[in-house]
Every structure is written in structure tokens, then in C-alpha cells.
């Protein structure tokens, strides 16, 4: 379900948003799996 989001960000070619989004996904996933 993340693919459309990444595709839209990649089309906008905004590296900062892409990096921030990746970090948020990693943090969110780690929080969910830590429980």
C-alpha cells in the first residue's frame, strides 16, 4: 500500500520529502512491531 505514495513522491522529485517519508515509515513500522 506504500507504492502509490512512493511513486507520487518520486514523480515530484523532492528528495527531502522522500527521505522524511522513508524515516517515518521505518519509525512507524518499528513502533508497531515493538508492541
In this prediction, residue 1 carries a pLDDT of 64
User: For 1-32, b where at least 16 C-beta lie within 10 A, e where not — what string?
Assistant: eeeeeeeebeeeeeeeeeeeeeeeeeeeeeee
The per-residue pLDDT for 35 is: 80
pTM of the model: 0.53
Determine the structural domain holding residue 12 and report its residue range: 3-34
Provide the domain count of the chain: 1
The per-residue pLDDT for range 22-32, each reduced to its tens digit, is 899 899 999 99
Amino acid at each position: 500500500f506504500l507504492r502509490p505514495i512512493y511513486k507520487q513522491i518520486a514523480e515530484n522529485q523532492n528528495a527531502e520529502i522522500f527521505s522524511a517519508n522513508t524515516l517515518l515509515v521505518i519509525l512507524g513500522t518499528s513502533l508497531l512491531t515493538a508492541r
